[in-house]
Amino acid sequence: MDFVPILVIILKIVVLTFVIVLPLVPLSVYFERRFSAIIQDRVGPNRVGIPLTLFGAKKDFHLFGLVQPVADGLKLFLKEDFTPAHVRKAFYWLAPALTLIPSLVTVCVIPFGSTLSINGEPFKLVIADLDIGPLFVFSIASLSVYGITLAGWSSNSKFPFIGGVRSTAQMISYEIALGLSIIPVLLYFGDLNLSNIVQYQADHGWLLLPFWDNDATHTLGSKLLFWFPAAIAFLIFTVSIFAETNRMPFDLPECETELVGGYHTEYSSMKFAMFFMGEYAAMVIGSSLIVTLFLGGWSMGFGLDKYISEFHFGSFYFGGLIHLAVFLFKVVSFILFFILVRWTVPRFRYDQLMKLGWVVFFEAALINVFLAALILAAPHLQGVIITIGAVLLFVLTLAVIWVAKASEEKPKLLRA
């Protein structure tokens, strides 16, 4: 039995999951605190650094407060791990793990960079190069709802339970919009392998910036026409990811003003920290998925990728590492966007949230599927059929808007 491939896989898992993705979690907590401080005109945590005064130096080296997340983690480890007497023990212990583990499992299909080549042997910077990438991410990420639901139920107290129920309803509702919104994207690429999707974007332009191409067979016109369904898909997908990760403005499951702390009210110490990490890990994975599908993944863009892949140092082709850096830069930028939204957009009301998911996004994503299909099929169809399709699509859109308006006219109170 050959042990080298197994060693390579273990090395990939350790490096990509525990050296790259996990440190992004405390880092995004730090970014969150500093960024919110900037927005609210405060200073934020900028002191915790290397305490040189302990060793007799004149001044501490503050390092912009970057050691703050380490101090936070240490504090959470040292806190008392208290289990209230009224909880259902087994589920209470299971729930935090069920929130964190799915987020970390989904790391395995994300392509972090292009191929590294050492002595002519290629190493793809992805743990499992599955042919069903986005579906795998959705299916595993949908398991994390169990953690939140069970946490709410097993706490055996009112507010956590309401938080858990809210979260379940919210995640199921937005999963539909999430799944429907990427159908146009998958139609465009014709592939479910995330590595191939990124390679295609590196060669033919990112989905949202289709302005360059390595071969001239694809005309700019058809790609620019597809930009519209792609942009609608991007909008729906991004907002749905916000809802799936329970982030502001959709953080109704842990809405402090109504529910104390939400589903994790009864949790303390590292069990609480695992929910916290789960939320941030989901945010990191969500950002990487958005970057991979819509913004070119690891590709530098502007036709530069084939030159980057040529860089080598003897027989060591290190272009993949540059691509890894590009990917991390994009992901961190998107995380900053997540944080910006959290501190600028106020929280939705629960009925508004449900309405946005079921009445607006569900229909918009469905119509977007037809629009994308029409645009993609147009070069192979006759003019008359395209016109009929366009008219039908227009009528369908009007009908959906009319139904949505009509259902709004007589608001009835629902009695249980």
Partner 1 sequence: MPFYLFWLFTTVMLIGGVSVIAFRNPVSSALSVVTCFVGLAGLFIGLSAFFVGVIQILVYTGAVMVLFLFIIMLLDLKDEEHRTNKIAPIATGLVLIGIFLIQLFSVIADTPNAESPPLDQATLSAAADSYPQDSKIATELKEGHLPDVHLIGHTLFTQYNLHLQILGVLLLVATIGVVSLSKRQTE
Q: Which helix (H) or strand (E) holds 68?
A: helix 68-78
Q: How many residues bind partner 1 (CB under 8 A)?
A: 30
CA angle 102, 350, 342 (to 5 degrees): 60
Return the bridge partners of 121, or none. Answer: 118
Q: Judged by CB under 8 A, which of 130, 304, 374, 400 binds partner 1?
A: 130
Confirm if 287 and 238 have CB atoms less than 8 A apart: no
Query: What character string, x for contact with partner 1 (CB under 8 A) and - otherwise, covers 155-184?
Result: ------x--xx--xx-xx--x---------
294 binds partner 1 (CB under 8 A): no
Q: Is 58 in the site for partner 1 (CB under 8 A)?
A: no
Contacts of 226 (CB under 8 A, 6+ apart): 188, 210, 372, 375, 376
131 binds partner 1 (CB under 8 A): yes
Q: Which stretch binds partner 1 (CB under 8 A): 51-59, 78-86, 185-193, 220-228?
A: 185-193
For partner 1, the closer CB: 69 or 160 = 160
The kind and range of the H/E element at 124 are strand 121-125
What percent helix, strand, coil does the chain show, rounded to 5?
A: 70, 5, 30
Task: Pick the piece of the chain touching partner 1 (CB under 8 A) from 140-148, 224-232, 310-318, 398-406.
Answer: 140-148
Residue 30 or 153 having the CB closest to partner 1: 153
For the four alpha carbons of 186, 334, 359 and 137, in that order, the dihedral sign comes to: positive
In the bound state with partner 1, the residue whose beta carbon lies nearer, of 51 and 190, is: 190
Interface with partner 1 includes 87 (CB under 8 A)?
no
CB 192 → partner 1: shortest distance, Å? 6
Q: Is 407 in the site for partner 1 (CB under 8 A)?
A: no
Element (H, E) at 364: helix 362-377
Q: How far is the CB of 6 from partner 1 (least distance, A)?
A: 13
Nearest to residue 143, comparing CAs of 241, 240, 244?
244
The four Cα atoms 265, 266, 267, 272 give a dihedral, to 10 degrees, of -10
Indicate whether 135 belongs to the interface with partner 1 (CB under 8 A): yes
Residue 143 lies near partner 1 (rule: CB under 8 A): yes
Of the pair 81, 408, the CB lying nearest partner 1 is at 408
Per CB under 8 A, 39 contacts partner 1: no
* Structure tokens, 168: 């379940």
Task: Check binding of 153 to partner 1 (CB under 8 A).
Answer: yes
Q: Which is nearer to partner 1, 29 or 151 (CB)?
A: 151
Contact region with partner 1 (CB under 8 A), list: 129-137, 205-213, 274-282, 363-371: 129-137
> Does 358 contact partner 1 by CB under 8 A?
no
CB of 135 to partner 1, least distance (A): 5
Beta carbon nearer to partner 1, 23 or 190: 190
Quick check: 190 binds partner 1 (CB under 8 A)? yes
Quick one: which segment of 2-10, 142-150, 257-265, 390-398 binds partner 1 (CB under 8 A)? 142-150
Q: Which is nearer to partner 1, 135 or 209 (CB)?
A: 135
Residues near 311 by beta carbon (within 8 Å), at least 6 away in sequence: 317, 318, 319, 322
- In three-state form (DSSP H/G/I as H, E/B as E, the rest C), the secondary structure along 72-118 is HHHHHHHCCCCCCCCCCHHHHHHHHHHHHHHHHHHHHHCCCEEEEEE
Comparing CA positions, the residue from 172, 189, 206, 175 lying closest to residue 133 is 189
Window contacting partner 1 (CB under 8 A); options: 143-151, 215-223, 240-248, 278-286: 143-151
Does the protein bind partner 1 through residue 315 (CB under 8 A)? no
Candidates 115-123, 147-155, 220-228, 352-360: pick the segment binding partner 1 (CB under 8 A): 147-155
Ordered DSSP codes for 311-347: --BTTEE-HHHHHHHHHHHHHHHHHHHHHHHHTTSPP
Cβ-Cβ contacts under 8 Å for 181 (sequence gap 6 or more)? 232, 233, 236, 237, 240, 361, 365, 368
Q: Which two tokens stand for residue 42?
A: 């405060």
Based on the shown chain and the rule CB under 8 A, indicate whether residue 138 belongs to the binding site for partner 1.
yes
User: Which among 286, 289, 285, 322 is positioned nearest to 304, based on CA atoms?
Assistant: 322
Question: Is residue 91 involved in binding partner 1 (CB under 8 A)?
Answer: yes
Q: Say how far apart CA 69 and CA 45 lie, in whole Å.
A: 10
Residue 403 belongs to what H/E stretch? helix 383-409
Q: Which residues bind partner 1 (CB under 8 A)?
A: 91, 130-132, 135-136, 138-140, 142-143, 145-146, 149-150, 153, 161, 164-165, 168-169, 171-172, 175, 190-192, 412, 414-415
